[in-house]
Chains A and B, each alone.
Chain A
Amino acid sequence: MIEALSFEFMQHAIIAGILVSLASGIIGSLVVVNRMVFLAGGIAHTAYGGIGLALFLGIPIFAGASIFAVGAALLMAFLTLKHRHRIDTFIGLIWAVGMAIGVILIDLTPGYNVDLLSYLFGSILAVSLDDLYYMGGLLLIVVAIVTIWYREILSVSYDSEFASLRGINVPLFYTLILVISALTIVIAIKVVGLILVIAMLTIPVYIAEKLSKNLFGMMFLSGFIASIFTVLGLWISYMFDLTSGATIILVSAVSLMLFLIFEKLQNRQN
Chain B
Amino acid sequence: MSVIDIINLSFGYNEEKVLDNINLKIEKDDFLAIIGPNGGGKSTLLKLILGILKPQSGAIDFIDDSMTIGYVPQNTNINMDFPVTAIEVVLMGHSYTKRPIFGYGKYETACAMEALREVGMEEYAKHRIGSLSGGQRQRVMIARALCSHPSVVILDEPTSSIDASGQKQIYDLLKELNKTMTIIVVSHDISITMEYANKVAYINKTIAFHDMTEAKSRFSLHPQGHFCEVELLQLLGKRS
Q: Mark B124-165, 1 if CB is under 8 A from A, else 0.
A: 001010000000000000001000100000000000000000
Q: Is the CB of B96 within 8 A of A214?
A: no
Q: Hey, which chain A residues are within 8 Å of B169, CB to CB?
A: none
Q: Is A128 an interface residue (CB 8 A)?
A: no
Segment of A78-86, A150-158, A251-259, A260-268 in the binding face: A150-158
Q: Is A11 an interface residue (CB 8 A)?
A: no
Q: Give the contacting residue for A213; candidates B83, B94, B95, B104; CB below 8 A.
A: B83
> How far apart are A26's CB and chain B's nearest CB, in angstroms?
13
Q: Is B73 an interface residue (CB 8 A)?
A: yes
Q: Hey, which chain A residues are within 8 Å of B96, CB to CB?
A: 151-152, 155, 166-168
Q: Is the CB of B103 within 8 A of A213?
A: no
Q: Is the CB of A215 within 8 A of B84?
A: yes
Q: Is B38 an interface residue (CB 8 A)?
A: no
Q: Is A71 an interface residue (CB 8 A)?
A: no
Q: Is the CB of A166 within 8 A of B95?
A: yes
Interface residues of A (CB under 8 A from B): 33, 147-148, 150-152, 154-155, 157-159, 161-163, 165-168, 209, 212-215, 217-218
Q: Hey, which chain A residues are within 8 Å of B36, CB to CB?
A: none
Say whether, besides A165-B71, A166-B148, A167-B96, A158 and B101 are in contact (CB < 8 Å). no
Q: Is B228 an interface residue (CB 8 A)?
A: no
Q: Is the CB of A161 within 8 A of B73?
A: yes
Q: Give the contacting residue for A158; candidates B92, B128, B148; CB below 8 A.
A: B92
Q: Is B22 an interface residue (CB 8 A)?
A: no
Q: Give the contacting residue for A162; candidates B71, B95, B101; CB below 8 A.
A: B71
Q: Is the CB of B93 within 8 A of A158?
A: no
Q: Hey, which chain A residues are within 8 Å of B81, CB to CB?
A: 209
Task: Count chain B residues whose beta carbon lies closer than 8 angstroms to a beta carbon of A.
Answer: 28
Q: Is the CB of A159 within 8 A of B73?
A: yes
Q: Mark B158-186, 1 if CB is under 8 A from A, else 0.
A: 00000000000000000000000000000
Q: How far is the CA of A209 from the CA of B81 in the complex (A)?
A: 8
Q: Hey, which chain B residues are within 8 Å of A157, CB to CB?
A: 82
Q: Hey, which chain B residues are within 8 Å of A158, CB to CB?
A: 79, 82, 84, 89, 92
Q: Is B117 an interface residue (CB 8 A)?
A: no
Say whether, besides A154-B84, A158-B79, A218-B83, A165 and B92 are in contact (CB < 8 Å). no
Q: Is B231 an interface residue (CB 8 A)?
A: no
Closest B residue to A35 by CB, please name it.
B79
Q: Is the CB of B91 within 8 A of A151?
A: yes
Q: Is the CB of A215 within 8 A of B148?
A: no
Q: Is the CB of B83 within 8 A of A214?
A: yes
> How far apart are A251's CB and chain B's nearest CB, in angstroms?
24
Q: How far is the CA of A147 from the CA of B102 in the complex (A)?
A: 7
> How far apart are A232's CB and chain B's nearest CB, in angstroms?
25
Q: Is B52 an interface residue (CB 8 A)?
A: yes
Q: Is B99 an interface residue (CB 8 A)?
A: yes
Q: Is the CB of B102 within 8 A of A148?
A: yes
> How far apart are A37's CB and chain B's nearest CB, in angstroms?
14
Q: Is B118 an interface residue (CB 8 A)?
A: no
Could you write out 11 A-B pairs with CB less than 8 Å apart?
A147-B102, A150-B103, A151-B96, A151-B104, A158-B79, A162-B71, A165-B50, A166-B96, A167-B97, A214-B84, A215-B82
